[in-house]
Structure 1
Amino acid sequence: MSARALPATWTPCYAPRTTATSPIGSACKHVAMSPVSRARKKAAQPSTPSVTGLFKDVLRDFSTLGAEPGVLDVELLTSEVLGQWWEIEVEEDETPLGMELIAFAERKITPAAAALLAGLRVFAETEEEREAAAAALNTVLGRGIPEPEWAADLAAVTVGDCWRTGDVFGDESSLLCVFSRGGVEHGLLALVDFTEGGRIRDVVVVDKPQDVLAEMRQQAADDPDLVTLERVLPERAHQLLADGLAATDVVEEPDVSEDYARFHALALAWIRTLPAPEPSPEITEWPEQVREEVVADFIGSGLVEDTDATRFYARLLVDHGCETEPGSPLRVGPEKLARFLESLLDGEFEVDEAYEDALEPALLGWVTWAADRAGLPEAARVALLESATEFLEEFAQDEDSALDVYFDGSEGIEDPAELAEALARRMFAVPTVYTEIGDEELELEPADPEQRRLLVIGEHPEYHEALAEETFDGEPRMRLALKTTIVDQLWADEPAEVWQAARRLSETGLERDDVFDRLVDALAAQLTEAGEHEMDYDVDDYRKALDELS
């Protein structure tokens, strides 16, 4: 149990959020965005205290609610409790932490236990956990603890109007659902990202939804050519929210706000009070023939030259749309274009050097063609072309800067193909120059061996506290040392079999972390003791082991 990555501390903060912290407006700022070079940082993870200690802290915070707390305060606290382990993966043979918390509370004969279980009976995120919490609450009440007077009011909200504002391109949308209870209105505000299939990237509770609605109306009035505002049926809102949360929750490392986990359980409970959702749109995967027909239609528009390079980029754009937004593959917007260029920059596609100069005319032609197809207004087309041009300029700068970051000029590589291969190898070894260690965000130079080591350490925040206290030992320390060794080997391409093995494993579909696990295992199997605190390995045997990886 102690191996689970649990929150380091329990710090309740559950006052209703105001409109000042809402995501409203972000959907209207895309034209000015330039996300191609945004820092791809991975937030540091907390340390791992005991499960029992966490559960005791939870009960302690419920004991401070008092005899007559505000119902919304109880809802927010319960949601925040569940959000503490929203991202924690549970192995098949492990009991979910929610079920463990319920069992823990069931053993306590206290008002705090009754309050917690009353909250979990409504806000636990699975039907199994809600039923278990209800049964546990009955057990606690049967021992003489009174049921909280507010228990029946949890999630007992009345559905009001639902509104949606967004950019005219359809990249993002801010969805506001108004709920009321006892004559007081609250709002659930979600940011829906359609560039990733309608995922929810932010969700908050707002205490003055009419102020938020007024802001939405003002944005649409100030920029009617680029901002849309519409009232949506609660059934449609239910479908967008339910599908969006479900799509986000299956992503291993979703790009969400800090508040997402905090309000997640409350959002699900309030969403359940909405009318039955509209049916989710049926999505049919485009076969090869349809994709090629789209490419041919684009080429036939006369907006671009009919070359192998142009057809190559057009097909990449079609495939990217099918992968990231299968319900609307040909929709075009600034954020969607930025994501496409990011995929190119990250090396997700192999691009022939002879095709590089064709990227700009192909992309700008695609933007014009797709905008015409979508019937976008003239102001939106102009803004879209301006954004595409800015992104292309930034993309070119990022490509140049990558060479500066990953090479110091001493390598003597002149052949462009060889240079591209070396860049791919070093970027696989060290995919980002940004990291976070403790509370400090760092931008480091991977060409420096010591800074490269810090970048490797930064990928494993679960070890940071132990490293700082110099208590880090055993297998974790060894595997981190071996990973650092392999990163150095990839950087120098010595032995060359390391990169060859990494490419073979990647081509089988393994993720980068899994590839490194296999490489570390191969090196670990060759280690022999060479003295006190020293290990050695036979290079020839290591090369053979690498050649056998597939």
Structure 2
Amino acid sequence: MTENPFGIDRVKAGADFLEWNFTITMKTSPWSVEEGMTQLLAHQSAEGFSPRLEICAEDDAKIIHELGRRPTPTAVAALRGFQAMSTIDTQRELARINADRLVQQGQPEPPWVDTVGRVRVDDCWWAHDEYGETAVVVCAFSYDGTDEHAIFVMIDRALGGGMVREILLSMNPDSLLSIVRKADGSEDGLVSEPLDPALARRLLEDAISTSDELSEHKEYNLRPVPVPYRKMRALILARARALSDRPAPPETLPNSVEIELLKQSFLASPAAARLPAGEATGRALDLLIHQFLDAAACHPLQIGPRRVKAVLGLPDLLAELDADPDLARLFPDLAYAWVAWTATERDLSPAATDRLTEAARQACTPQRPAEDAGHNGPAG
């Protein structure tokens, strides 16, 4: 095992700390156990510094193995804590196996073993925009009416599975539920409604997965995740698992036949009437759809203002247009026409359509070649 510069085995020290912690929480409530474990699994210092998640996962696996070699009641309790709260499926199972073996050897179970993590789902709501780019998820839980609490997660779904933009925990569920219910009909065009727990689980797990991936790679240069993210991450994932046995199926992207039908429908529509017929238009359309499918990982119909601006500003796209002046000359008009057509196909409200097409206009204008600088926006 790796030793630190002071010669103390980090794994044994970690197991010692967990056993000490569970001498305090052994007879506490299951909710207190969950609160403590989600803090421990954050691996965050008092100053807010955290190792990379993969390093934390490796350390946790070693600590679970070390605890499994310790025939003590506190080791069993710590392993049951890992079993309930670890963010990794295989580690929850590893903790269960080690705890079961110690119990078979005569060690007692902690008094909360049958209840920890087994919360009741009391309510589940969300607010979302017409584009599918923003989701505000609020889910309320309790231990059969005691220790009531709710989680609030705002997700920016313009990027992959979504980035966590805000995250809150409240012991007053009604306060958070009222926020999302009052969002209905706001200036942001949000719609508020009850949320299927299986869909809530998928939204939360996808957002955590994407946020982990993007926040761990600073080269993406994205806005940081909220300050409480690491300390609430394990709790959010535990609550997501409590919502449903399995998440709702993922949104499917169109296959090659469906893409071809979309292209044909678009080219035959009034939105594409002013585009020139020919091979260049087909190449430009292929390039645009490729960006939405591969770079943004979204259905090319399910787009909103943030997604449009992000995709049309991608460095790889701009580099490809720079290398092909004919394509660059045609692309802004085609991209604008596609965006306008998607609004019609999805039957967006007039206000939502205006916001979407204005975003496309703004994103397309900088792409115009210098000789088209006097153009007053995309053809339409």
Determine if the TM-score, normalized by the shorter chain, exceeds 0.5. Answer: yes
Is the Cα contact below 8 Å between 1:176 and 1:190 reproduced in 2? yes
Q: Residue 147 of structure 1: CA displacement?
A: 4.0
Cα displacement string for residues 493-541 of structure 1 (whole angstroms, at most 9, x for unaligned residues): xxxxxxxxxxxxxxxxxxxxxxxxxxxxxxxxxxxxxxxxxxxxxxxxx
* Residues 144 and 278 of structure 1, relative CA distance in 2, 3 Å threshold: closer
* Structure 1 counterpart SS, 2:158: helix
- Deviations along 1:473-505, one digit per CA (max 9) or x if unpaired, are xxxxxxxxxxxxxxxxxxxxxxxxxxxxxxxxx
Deviation of 1:322 after TM superposition, in Å, equals 2.3
Deviations 1:237-282 (A, max 9, x none): 2344455556666777497725444333333333333344465157
Question: Counterparts of 1:116 and 1:332 in 2: how far apart (Å)?
Answer: 45
Q: CA deviation at 1:396?
A: 6.1
Measured against aligned partners, the alpha-carbon deviations of 1:76-114 in whole angstroms (never above 9, x if no partner) come to: 332333343772179xxxx94333111222344666534
Partner of 2:334: 362
Contact 1:83 1:264 in 2 (8 A): yes
Distance in 1, matches of 2:9 and 2:301, equals 49
Q: Could you tell me how far apart the structure 1 residues matched to 2:320 and 2:10 are?
A: 43
Note the 1:329-344 alignment, pairs <5 A: 329-344=300-315
**Alpha carbons 2:15, 2:63 under 8 Å: kept:** no
**Aligned pairs for 1:452-471 within 5 A:** none
Q: Is residue 217 of structure 1 aligned with residue 181 of structure 2?
A: yes
Residue 268 (1) aligns with residue 240 (2): no
The alpha-carbon distance between structure 1 residues 273 and 293, as it changes in their structure 2 partners (threshold 3 A), is closer
Work out whether residues 58 and 81 of structure 1, in 8 Å CA contact, stay in contact via their aligned partners in 2. Answer: no
Conserved in 1, the CA contact under 8 Å of 2:155 and 2:163?
A: yes
Q: 1:189 aligns with which of 128, 152, 159?
A: 152
Give the letter for the 1:361 counterpart. D
Percent identity for Structure 1 against Structure 2: 24
- SS of 1:220's partner is coil
Label 1:313 to 1:190 Cα distance change in 2 as closer, same or farther (>3 A): farther
Q: Deviations over 1:414-454 (max 9, x none)?
A: xxxxxxxxxxxxxxxxxxxxxxxxxxxxxxxxxxxxxxxxx
Q: How many residues matched?
A: 349
> For residues 278-427 of structure 1, what are the structure 2 equivalents within 5 Å?
280-281=249-250, 283=252, 285-287=254-256, 290-304=258-272, 305-307=274-276, 310-324=281-295, 328-344=299-315, 349-351=320-322, 352-392=324-364
Q: CA deviation at 1:378?
A: 0.6
* Aligned position for 1:14: none
- Amino acid across the alignment from 2:346: A
Structure 2: distance between partners of 1:170 and 1:127: 29
Output the CA distance in 2 between the equivalents of 1:331 and 1:265. Answer: 30
Question: Any idea what SS the aligned residue of 1:173 has?
Answer: strand
* Aligned with residue 195 of structure 2, among 232, 248, 266: 232
Equivalent-residue separation in structure 2 for 1:344 and 1:126 (angstroms): 34
Once residues 9 and 337 of structure 2 are traced to their aligned partners in structure 1, the CA distance between those partners, rounded to angstroms, is 57
Q: Secondary structure at the match of 1:119?
A: helix
Residues 3-51 of structure 1: CA deviation (Å, up to 9, x unaligned) = 9xx9xxxxxxxxxxxxxxxxxxxxxxxxxxxxxxxxxxxxxxxxxx964
Q: Which residue of 1 aligns with 2:39?
A: 80
CA distance in 2, matches of 1:278, 1:239: 5
In the superposition, the TM-score normalised over structure 2's length comes to: 0.73
- Closer, same or farther: CA 61–368 of 1 in aligned 2, 3 Å: farther
For residues 261 and 162 of structure 1, what CA distance do their matches in structure 2 show? 23
Letter in 1 for 2:133: D
TM-score by length of 1: 0.53
User: 1:175–1:237: 8 Å Cα contact kept in structure 2?
Assistant: yes
Partners of 1:357 and 1:50 in 2: how far apart? 63
Distance 1:310 1:58 in 2: 64
Amino acid at match of 2:161: G
Is the partner of 2:183 in helix, strand or coil?
Answer: helix
Structure 1: stretches of 5+ with no match in the other structure: 7-48, 401-550
Alpha-carbon distance in structure 2 between the residues aligned to 1:148 and 1:320: 53
- Unaligned regions of 5+ residues in structure 2, if any? 44-50, 371-380
